[in-house]
Amino acid sequence: MVRRIELIAAEEGPALQGKTIDPRILDALRLVPRHEFVPEGLRGESYADLPLPIGCGQTISQPFIVALMTHLLDLAPDSVVLEVGTGSGYQAAVLAQLVRQVHTIEIIPALAASAAHRLSSLGYANVSVRQGDGYDGLEEAAPFDGIIVTAAPGHIPPPLFQQLKPGGRMVIPVGPRFWRQHLMVVERDPEGQVRTRELIPVRFVPLTRSR
């Protein structure tokens, strides 16, 4: 799986600006047992570079996209990160290998409960799972060094940008429901101003709201 990620990364020059995936991220991907985060009937495909259904109309992201989005966050070991869209918990588990604390929000109660149990049983003690509407972020734990959004809204949610630290980054797919979207990097500069970069076309499930 990791070798395949490296091969795809070599072809994605614009997204990576000519760089390679951070080796720390590749090591994290080697350590996280992806088969634990997919339904039992799909475990034979766990390490293929494919998104897979996890129930409730949601998916676990393609491993390359997990690697790319994590790389684009540009995190340090003492970083505190917010993930919007826990799903099965795989992205949170990868982040947990790299940072001090991961806060993750899932709007679907069944997925939030199963992800919390799975992450706890696998020993990811630095991941906190919340059930709720991720559009509004998690103000009580803000500000964040990085925010990663694993479902696509039609625009960048203002509450999430406001919860970024100066110098922080958000990686988010933006675009219409079930149509052409783009992966974007949103940076908050030291003066609090926004800078955005549009990268590769992607297709994510839509960001679900509670209202």
Strand partners, 130: 105
Output the CA torsion 171→193→107→83 (10° steps): 40
- Token pair, residue 95, equals 């982040």
Catalytic residue status for 61: yes
Q: Active site residue: 61, 79, 88, 114, which one?
A: 61
Other CB atoms within 10 Å distance of the CB of residue 183: 22
Cα 24 → chain centroid: 16
Q: Provide the pLDDT for residue 189.
A: 84
Q: Provide the pLDDT for residue 178.
A: 64
Q: Provide the pLDDT for residue 39.
A: 94
- Mean pLDDT (10-residue bins), the chain, 211 residues: 92 72 96 96 94 94 96 96 97 98 97 98 98 96 97 94 94 85 91 86 86 66
- Token pair, residue 187, equals 């940076």
Beta carbons within 8 Å of 19's beta carbon, 6+ residues apart: none
Domains contained in the chain, CATH given: 2-202 (3.40.50.150)
| Residue whose tokens read 């869209």 | 85
Q: Provide the pLDDT for residue 18.
A: 65
